[in-house]
Structure 1
């Protein structure tokens, strides 16, 4: 009881000193008075009085901005020393209320909300944590370090992905340019976490974007120069598998892959890449036997059940590659022979062929009664007339040259007879 009375008496004396310095406009004295009041409450472990004093002092008439800033910064140091989670949350909420709407403590408020969101996440309240983080638009904070802004936005994106809000995650991710990751973050003490970099694209099975994500990570100077860094990123696993799924359409990335660097780990699947870019039919059964073990060992690559989806997509890409190769060498082929080349049944062959025709990746016609596939391009009337005109022009040119040669030979023969 005596200690409580002593605390109240000490706080009252400091409040009188704070009032006099505040009314006189003395910044240093006011800051010292408010911080000493908070320190007294902290030393006494009276957390309720600490919260009350923060609210009371911040609402004083004509309270100086510098005093409020010093008070918030001082109280933030006590958060990690609270005895339990309820007291910690209460202190953070009090500081949030004090700093709300005040530009001069916007950075502190952002850090407080991040701490509160972390607590909510640990409690399993992902949605609440995401909502808290989305309340803060750090991209408008002029005083906050650029790297801290990036880390905050990345945390917003991660929480949106955790709550499966992929649309909002995409919107937030557009606030960051990939070029910002090339800066040196060591001086700001901020570390970017790239482990979830491709989760959004993995959700939509966008393998090309997954590949670009990990390609960008590998090209960051801090990652590329440190073997431990790019080994942790597992460039080979994260880059190659998505790459081979879109290889038919993206040869630019393939060229980068071959020239990525001297690290031999990056070149392990090179034979598979060569098979897919060469205009030759790839036998799926033998190819899968060679790479099945590698796919099985990459269960954490794209997240859970998506590994099976990735393997199925690879098979789909190989089938499409083989059909395109056949269309280059054949104008007509039987469905049975095409099925043998693709290692598929006739119904499966017709299915994949039809899907490619519908998606306009290929021009083909199936004559089912005859069992023949034609890869000839259908010509309209204008193309046919142009073809006839071209053929007639070539024919007339050939006739003219022949007549000229005959006339020349005749003249030479007559001249020889006269001699």
Structure 2
């Protein structure tokens, strides 16, 4: 930052004379003339390092633009002042406060966007003001605090209005890289990033809902898919240091962070990630102390780990969960995990009759898609069990064991083969499924070589044992 020079001259008398004159010109509709006079004196005060006079002039300039409702001029003025006063921005608190008139989320700005600017493209007109305001308030965390406080209060008092005004706020706030601001405390940065993620998720859902609503209607164009906002939210989640969240005083931030991450993972149907996030929540001391929350978190871990597609990581987490003593207290959930761990067939009608009445009333399996995903995981488990015990099986018998139609059986088999979970080939004319791959000559030779090495090793070990025994007998005879 540039060094602040010593004040060379005091322009207070000239400023006291010019401000009332410029104010009268602004009220008379002569904004350009008033700004011209103010900028001329502002340049002199700035070059003379008269900070108080420069701040008064800058505030007057912004106030005149705002009162005239000339938002284009207001944006240009803030952009210009942010460049001129960047070397002394830490001391220009007055300019920062004046610049907050166009702060993202300010209610006055939202009204200005709605009635003064083109409502269809508010974010484009806010862009320059937002970036300039960011430079002016970079050293003032209180601006961020007040902005977030305003957003929360509006959301609580007027949820419908806050939802309608979500789009320009998210556009303005999501691009602020607060993690680079050294003037903010670490907790404040984390709170602000979490608020950014929350707003992005809200906007993404709003866009997705509008696309679904307008889909198939001719002549209506929705906002577009909310996938860009989902991606931005995931990027924002990577900015959070999870080690910092492990500190006891940051437990509230930790719970809020993993709540948002669970929403992001559920959007992608990444059930294993959801289970991991719930496991982090379950390990939180405050959750451990609350019996109800502790039980709920453990139940969600079970639900989502069995919903996750089978792979090495999912299998490892499932087996570790099965041997956890805390799970034994939940008999029904323990038996459900045991069914997936044991290499035995699970007939879907029996699973549905045994666990259906309980699981279907839970928030997780009340969703039809997730109940269908559970059915799919049961079928995949059964196919892995059949592939483990059988080398060949008729397609009709496999269809009976899986309680599926022949077409559904082939589709499920094909999906598991493509994912390399199992090896299988279907002989359709013969109606036979082969789970054992044909061995190549190289495989046979490798096995034979391995067997020969074991045989030679055993012979050598036997020979050494016999020599040792003969040596011992010779010593006894001697």
Same fold (TM over 0.5): yes
Kept in 1, the 8 Å contact 2:138–2:183? The answer is no
> Is the partner of 2:429 in helix, strand or coil?
coil
- Pick which of 260-269 and 280-289 moved more: 260-269
Would you say 1:356 and 2:396 are equivalent positions? no
CA contact (8 A) 2:318 2:341 kept: no
- Following superposition, the deviation at residue 388 of structure 1 comes to 6.0
What's 2:218 paired with?
none
Report matched runs for 1:317-396 at 5 Å: 317-387=377-447
Paired position in structure 2 for 1:244:
306
Give the match for residue 72 of structure 2.
none
Q: 1:178 aligns with which of 236, 242, 247?
A: 242
**8 Å contact kept, 2:391–2:434:** yes
Q: Distance in 1 between matches of 2:342 and 2:266?
A: 28
Equivalent residue in structure 2 for 1:130, among 166, 170, 175: 170
Alpha-carbon deviation of 1:254? 2.4
Give the whole-Å Cα distance in 2 for the aligned partners of 1:97 and 1:246. 43
Instruction: Provide the rounded CA distance (Å) in 2 between the counterparts of 1:317 and 1:223.
Output: 30
TM-score (norm 2): 0.60
- Work out the number of aligned pairs and report it: 369
> Residue 326 of structure 1 aligns to a residue in which SS?
helix
Q: Secondary structure at the match of 1:373?
A: strand
Aligned residues: CA RMSD: 5.2
Matches within 5 A, 1:10-409: 68-69=92-93, 86=111, 99-102=133-136, 105-111=139-145, 113-114=147-148, 122-161=162-201, 162-163=203-204, 164=226, 165=228, 166-185=230-249, 192=256, 194-227=258-291, 230=294, 234-246=296-308, 248-249=310-311, 250-258=314-322, 262=326, 268-299=332-363, 301=364, 307-387=367-447
* 1:205 aligned counterpart, secondary structure: coil
The answer (yes or no) to whether the contact 2:307–2:377 under 8 Å persists in 1 is: yes
Cα 1:318–1:59 change in 2 (3 A) is closer
Partner residue, 1:16 = none
- State the 1:342 CA deviation: 1.4
CA distance in 2 between counterparts of 1:187 and 1:346 reads: 52
What CA distance in whole angstroms lies between the structure 2 residues aligned with 1:226 and 1:392?
62
Distance in 2 (alpha carbons) for counterparts of 1:332 and 1:296: 36
Secondary structure of the residue aligned to 1:136 is: coil
CA distance 1:188–1:357, change in 2 (3 Å): closer
CA displacement at 1:172 relative to structure 2: 1.8
Name the CA shift for 1:70/1:229 in 2 (closer, same or farther; >3 Å).
farther
Alpha-carbon separation, structure 2, partners of 1:96 and 1:390: 71
Unaligned runs of 5+ in 2: 1-15, 21-41, 69-76, 117-125, 156-160, 205-225, 459-478
Pair 326,192 (structure 1): closer, same or farther in 2 beyond 3 Å:
closer
Task: Check conservation: 1:335, 1:371, Cα contact below 8 A.
Answer: yes
Return the offset for 1:322.
0.8
**Whole-Å Cα distance in 2 between the matches of residues 295 and 146 of structure 1?**
41
1:117, 1:132 within 8 Å by CA — same for their partners in 2? no
TM superposition shift of 1:205: 1.2
- Note the C-alpha offset of 1:129: 2.1
Relative to structure 1, the CA distance from residue 75 to residue 26 in structure 2 (aligned partners, 3 Å threshold; closer, same or farther) is same
Q: Distance in 1 between matches of 2:149 and 2:131?
A: 15
Structure exhibiting the larger radius of gyration computed from Cα positions:
1
- The alpha-carbon deviation at position 351 of structure 1 amounts to 2.5
The structure-2 alpha-carbon separation of the partners of 1:323 and 1:48, relative to structure 1 and needing over 3 Å to count, comes to same
For residues 340 and 329 of structure 2, what CA distance do their matches in structure 1 show?
19
